[in-house]
Amino acid sequence: MRRTPYLRWAAPLLALALAATGCGGGAGTTQGVVSASWGDPPNPLEPANTNDVQGGKVLDMIFRGLKRYDPRTGAAQDMLAERIETTDSTTFAITVKDGWTFSNGEKVTARSFVDAWNYGADVRNNQRNAYFFGYIQGYADVHPDTGEPKATTLSGLKITGERTFSVTLSQKFSTWPDTLGYAAFAPLPRAFFDDHAAWLEKPVGNGPYTVHSYARGSAMSLRTRDDYPGPDKARNSGVDLIVYTDNNTAYTSLLSGNLDLVDDVPAAQLKNVRKDLDGRYINTPAGIIQTLAFPYYDPAWNTPGGAKLRTGISRAIDREQITRTIFRSTRTPAKDWTSPVLGTDGGFSPTLCGDACVYDPAAARRLVDEGGGIPGGRMTISYNADTGSHKEWVDAVCNSVNNALGRDSACVGNPVGTFADFRNQITQSRMDGPFRAGWQMDYPLIQNFLQPLYYTNASSNDGKWSDPGFDRLVDRANAESDQPTAVRLFQQAEEVVRDQMAAIPLWYQNGSAGYSARVGNVALNPFSVPVYNEITVG
Amino acid sequence: MGRYVIRRLLQMIPVFFGATLLIFLMVNVMGDPIQGLCGQRQCDPATAARLRQEFGLDKPVWQQYLTYMGNVFTGDFGTAFNGQPVTELMADAFPVTLRLTLVAIFFEIVIGITLGVLTGLRRGRPVDTSVLLLTLVVISVPTFVTGLLLQFLLGVEWGIIKPAVSPAATLDELIVPGLVLASVSLAYVTRLTRTAIAENARADYVRTARAKGLPRRRIVTRHLLRNSLIPVVTFIGADIGALMGGAIVTERIFNIHGVGYQLYQGIVRQNTQTVVGFVTILVLIFLIANLLVDLLYAVLDPRIRYA
């Protein structure tokens, strides 16, 4: 008989290996701490430098600004602001509440705000969100389009006392105080300026959480601040944010009980998510609208009959069917150019688009023909293929258009490899057909859904659309101090967008999240960011 | 021997420059990355210009390359867009991937060679046939299928492991990902060893050893295995480089923040400095692994000499 001595030592080794793996299993969660999925923020984590949801999550936990958007209604409410007063919609006198401190003990004063805003606006600091300070007087001096800045501080900001300062805008903007809930307007402690590198390693803010440890690119531990002076103290003892490269892995971790909260449920899992998670799944409207923009710099798309053509394309898209089948109702067909999170008082209107957003193949064919037909008989819809599974819906939209117009090749998708390249082609005006345009609001105001997107030469007016009538109405609305009148004027401007079909509204996006049985009271705010401080554990 | 090593090291220099230049040009072809940093809106021109200047993107490509290479030789691999030095990213990522690769190589050597010897000595027996069939299955199933399946079964259904590896990525957490990463190569190692063993088992020196009355164990380990390992060592050596750079799929499935993750993120964000830096190191690892393999030949087979 032959002996096989080799297996003798191989077998125990394997057994050892498997035993060691067994040790790796089990609960990886700390008492009272929520573990949540996260993505690596692409930009440095500073208030005026963060323009993405992932970085926004952290800023929302470690900072509180003058205003805060109510997590449920989105309404701007005073947080650190005691009073913001104005008589002319141009100069605002701001009083900061007493008793607020940063987590390192430093008091939050008027200077904390003024220094932070001056830093954010200064072109030398390379802050991606600098344009948020563009309404403040003197912005052009600290942030000129070309050349070196002439000043280091905004002339419109003046400290008038320990807790008071005044802001002068370069134009009338009655709802400006409501924009102050955006993270870019957060106050900064002296530590930020004194030792910037150390601050970036471990940010210090004035919010309900402090950064306990931060391993860039992989995880951040936040712990509840015991001395937090605000009314929205965290109801858990901390949050561990863990970077997941793939949302499928995060979802699998949630299913196996190793993660408490996933705020990006993979599209492929949507049909099972309710069963998998036993109902621990939320799907709530967020301030995000997806549209198709057009290249108005291309003469073929800027014709006298263009409005009819675009309305025709809009009516050829079966939004109901696409949102139901592809997005499993995590998106809802758009009925205007804003978002339901604004509420009807805030300017949302479920009737504004009307027939122009209703699927009707016969009307679509007629309108496209009257509008001179699709330029060249064929159009492409461009999108970035690297994130967000855009291919599925672009193909579906094209299918819908092709079916409605009765031509197989009227519309095809045009994938662009990376988001950066896609944005490059857009900003260099190299699009030759409609392209994907998504908009996530910065603050819940109808102004934010219209002015940055459709005002002449606005920062996100990707199609370079321009209409003097629209611009005039927006200017008038901004100068109007009566809120309801301002909203009505913005809606009139929106009607111009509709009549010209400046961009085709597709659908409103919902935020979705799944959570473990360990945690409760999970909700998403209108920015589709989980309201971490209200989550309960156990 | 020493001359040979020096010659090989000198040969690495043009390969190193060629590879980095190619990668540099390829990432550059993808276009200007700055717009991707500003989200769904146009970067304001002043900030975009300053960012371009900060990352050296305002200069012509050849100048960018020269500056970059100059900096590399002083140990400065540039900065990622999130403000982190690339060397810091490397310090985070390479140890993790190295651990993962070591686990994978360990499995390749232990399981692969054991199975290979076992089957090679028992050609045509049921053990041989079933192992051969098994390796065929492993080779034909893509890694991400094996990975996702094991993750679901062991992680979710049976709860033996955590489906995602923690940021610390300790050795015990890396056993299953390492096994997945090793699976295909493991099957190849098994087959290579099997063939070599089967062939050499009939060689004259084995017969001589047997005639001398050496114990069977000694014949197999000292004579048979040593001579049969040359092709296997070549394969494993080349595999070290492939495993380190090619772990993108496995790292993604198990959420391991290693080299594959950094490379993926660098490519998606079009961050030249990250991609070129990581690939440069990978190229070096590949070259050195190959050199070591060639030197090992001489150790395994005294007939091979380098001059």
End-to-end CA distance of chain B: 5
Name B208's Cβ contacts closer than 8 Å, sequence gap at least 6.
none
> Helix axis angle, B61-73 relative to B272-300, nearest 10°?
50
The stretch B2-12 carries a mean pLDDT of 85
Name, in order, each residue with C-beta under 8 angstroms of A71's C-beta and a sequence gap of 6 or more: A523, A525, A526, A531, A534
Q: Give the residue from A168, A183, A203 where a domain finishes.
A: A203
Does A343 share its domain with A461? yes
Within a domain: A300: yes
Q: State yes or no: ipTM above 0.90.
A: no
What residue type is assigned to position A154 of the chain? L
> Tell me, what's the pLDDT at A20?
40
**One-character DSSP codes across chain B:** -HHHHHHHHHHHHHHHHHHHHHHHHHHHHT---GGGGGTTSPPPHHHHHHHHHHTTTTS-HHHHHHHHHHHHHTT---B-TTS-BHHHHHHHHHHHHHHHHHHHHHHIIIIIIHHHHHHHHTTTSHHHHHHHHHHHHHHHS-HHHHHHHHIIIIIIIS-SS-SS--TT--GGGGHHHHHHHHHHHHHHHHHHHHHHHHHHTTSHHHHHHHHHT--HHHIIIIIIIHHHHHHHHHHHHHHHHHHHHSTHHHHHHTT--SHHHHHHHHHHTT-HHHHHHHHHHHHHHHHHHHHHHHHHHHHH-TT----
* Residue A1 falls inside a structural domain: no
Q: What is the pLDDT of residues B279-304, one digit of tens each?
A: 888 888 888 888 888 888 877 777 77
CATH of the domain at A138: 3.90.76.10
- Mutate which: A3, A21, A435, vs B, most B CBs within 10 A: A21
Counted across chains A and B, CB pairs separated by less than 8 A come out at 197
Q: Do residues A509 and A38 lie in contact, with contact meaning Cβ atoms separated by under 8 Å?
A: no
Same domain, A301 and A346: yes
Regarding whether A226 and A294 lie in a shared domain, the answer is: no
Any domain includes A276: yes
Q: Which residue has the higher pLDDT, A493 or B210?
A: A493
B37 touches chain A (CB under 8 A): yes
Cα separation, A207 vs A226, whole angstroms: 11
| Same domain assignment for residues A313 and A453 | yes
Q: Point out the residue among B172, B254, B261 whose CB comes nearest to the CB of A20.
A: B172
Please give the mean pLDDT across all residues of chain B.
Answer: 85
CATH number at residue A222: 3.40.190.10
Whether residue A499 sits in one domain with residue A350: yes
Q: Name which of B34, B49, B156 is nearest A256 (Cβ-Cβ).
A: B156
- Does residue A405 form part of some domain? yes
Residues A275 and A290 in one domain: no
Please enumerate in sequence order all residues whose Cβ is within 8 A of that of A411, keeping only pairs 6 or more positions apart, or say none. Answer: A374, A378, A379, A380, A381, A397, A398, A401, A402
Query: Does residue A535 sit in the same domain as residue A408?
Result: no
Q: Is A427 on the interface with B (CB under 8 A)?
A: yes
The pLDDT, as a whole number, for residue A26 is 34
Q: What is the pLDDT of residue A28?
A: 46
Domain end position, chosen among A172, A203, A234: A203
Give the pLDDT mean for B221-250.
83
Dihedral sign for Cα A28, A33, A39, A43, please.
negative
**CATH number reported for the structural domain that contains residue A323 in this entry:** 3.10.105.10
Q: How far is A62 from chain B (nearest CA, A)?
A: 19
Nearest to B161 by CA among B147, B141, B149, B176: B176
Give the pLDDT score at A7: 37
B 240-259: CB under 8 A from A: 251-255, 257
Per-residue pLDDT averaged across B202-222, rounded? 87
Using a CB-CB cut-off of 8 Å, the residues of chain A touching B41 are 452, 459-460
Which of A163, A185, A203 corresponds to the end of one domain? A203
Q: Are A537 and A236 in contact (CB under 8 A)?
A: yes
In a domain, A377, yes or no: yes
Pair (A352, A501) in one structural domain:
yes
List all residues of chain A from 121 to 180 with a beta carbon under 8 Å from chain B: 123-124, 126-128, 130-131, 143-146
Instruction: Tally the domains of chain A.
Output: 3
Domain that holds residue A251: 6-61+207-280+516-538
Q: Give the pLDDT score at A10.
A: 41
* B153: chain A residues, CB-CB within 8 Å: none
For residue A18, the chain B residues in CB contact (below 8 A) are 175
A132/A242 same-domain check: no
Q: What is the mean pLDDT of each run of 10 residues along chain A (538 residues)?
A: 40 41 43 90 88 89 93 89 91 94 93 95 88 90 87 93 94 88 93 93 94 90 92 92 89 91 85 88 91 93 90 94 89 93 90 92 92 90 83 92 89 87 85 90 90 89 92 91 90 94 93 92 91 92
Partner A contacted by B169 (CB < 8 A): no
- Restricting to A residues 311-370, those with a Cβ less than 8 Å away from any Cβ of B are none
pLDDT confidence of residue A9: 42
pLDDT of amino acid A281: 93
